Amino acid sequence: MSIANRIASVADGVLRIGGTRLHHYIVQALYSRLRGDYVRDDLKIEMFTPSYVQPDISDRPMVERIYAAFQKAKYDQKSKDAVFMPSTLWQKVLDSCYMKYPDVTIDQFHFFLSNFGAQEKHIGITWTHLLSQYAKTLKSRKYFERMIIGQKIGWWLKFESNGRDLSVLSHPRHGNLWGAIVNDSFVSYESVLNEFYGRMISNFVKKDRPVVGEVGAGYGVLFYFIARAFSEFCYLDFDLPETLCCATYYLMKSFPQERFLLYGEGKLNEDAIKEYDFILMPSYVIKDLPNDSIDIFVNMSSLGEMKSETCRVFIREICRTAQAFWHMNHECDRQDRQEVDASLLNSEYPVLEYNFDLVIRYIDALNAVWKGTFDKDYDIYGYYYKRRPI
């Protein structure tokens, strides 16, 4: 055995004394430094962390619509099935970061929507809390620019761009989103992920005007990328009233010419799906969806953050209404262990009980390598189901 191998063997043994996680962390950190930075020289990347902005007064009529929908959604939530209430994990986030019903004023509401993307607390729908940690020192900012954003974009340019330029990864900053400026284009932490999966999902739907449903859309960025493939569509989002406000604000600002139906403005039925481009409703309204009305339902991460019974209810409603279902959630690591009714793993979702076939199952390798090396503890898997022909 060479001297180098003997040293490596001894070091490996010493590290293992500290436990599996310490061993894994040190090995990954050393590997990322030894392999170097693989960022293209033609990429100019600068972390972008803006301060709070003052609300645009011209948005006030739109914000008043969202405010009215939020107030009604929260009031009606009290009398709805308790299964649609947030999990313990999400309730903590809502209590510490979001607007307090019924005390929030219209001015406070407008300010929050104008700045939800700049909240340094973890609001559950952006990565600003993580970016704020990288922004603290020059060294960590550079690490974020090269090893995280730079490597993702480098991968996308090499394997996924197909001749398209970086502007394809950009999306509107409504809500004062943080991210990076890359060759004069704004790119968020989640741009590459959502562009990749948005394009994948749009290829699953071969219709002139697809009806796309989503449970827990965050601020709506995944559908922003899906929508690029279609000149016409109907998109429905079902979510907690607080986060739904952010998606409504973001999408109304991003698609100002489209027709929106908000909670309290009309019924969710077949006519509404034909008439509106966007239908944004609190989660308990999903039971009003007509049978077989959705071409594809999508979900990224939130099913795995729900109480198990809540997840089962959503799966039942999705399978009742959809021709296809795509989701990405946890394979082996339950997210809310403190719940009596703890969250489900992917294999526990009862999709196959409702006459669906599993077409694709795969690891989300794109996020598994976000640090520049493969994270063996990363457990997000994607699933794509199609309804069996009758």
Residue 309 falls inside a structural domain: yes
User: Residue 19 above 80 pLDDT?
Assistant: no
Q: Can you tell me the mean pLDDT for 361-384?
A: 80
Amino acid 176: pLDDT: 98
- 170-199: per-residue pLDDT in tens? 999 999 999 999 999 999 999 999 999 999
Alpha-carbon gap, residue 222 to 218, rounded angstroms = 9
* The pLDDT value given to residue 39: 66
Please, what sign has the CA dihedral across residues 115, 117, 119, 122?
Answer: positive
Residue 375 maps to a domain: yes
Does the pLDDT at position 319 exceed 90? yes
Mean pLDDT for 106-119 is: 98
Look at residue 88 and tell me if it is in a domain: no
Question: Is residue 33 pLDDT above 50, yes or no?
Answer: no
Mean pLDDT of all residues in 158-176: 95
Residue 346 has pLDDT above 90, yes or no: yes
Q: How confident is the model at residue 27 (pLDDT cuts 50, 70, 90)?
A: very low
Domain membership flag for residue 323:
yes
What would the mean pLDDT of 113-118 be, rounded to a whole number?
Answer: 98
pLDDT given for residue 335 in this prediction: 74
Residue 314 within a domain: yes
Query: Is 372's pLDDT higher than 80?
Result: no
The domain in which residue 20 lies consists of 1-36
Residue 356, pLDDT above cutoff 90: yes
Q: How confident is the model at residue 252 (pLDDT cuts 50, 70, 90)?
A: very high
Q: How many folded domains does the chain comprise?
A: 2
| pLDDT range class, residue 336, cuts 50, 70, 90 | low
Check which CATH number belongs to the domain holding 368 and give it: 3.40.50.150
| In-domain check, residue 135 | no
Give 366's pLDDT tier (boundaries 50, 70, 90): confident
Average pLDDT over the chain, rounded to an integer: 89
Over residues 356-366, the mean pLDDT reads: 92
- Of the two residues 375 and 114, the one the predictor is more confident about is 114
**Per-residue pLDDT tens digits for 210-236:** 999 999 999 999 999 999 999 999 999
- Residue 346 in any domain: the answer is yes
Residue 219: inside a domain, yes or no?
A: yes
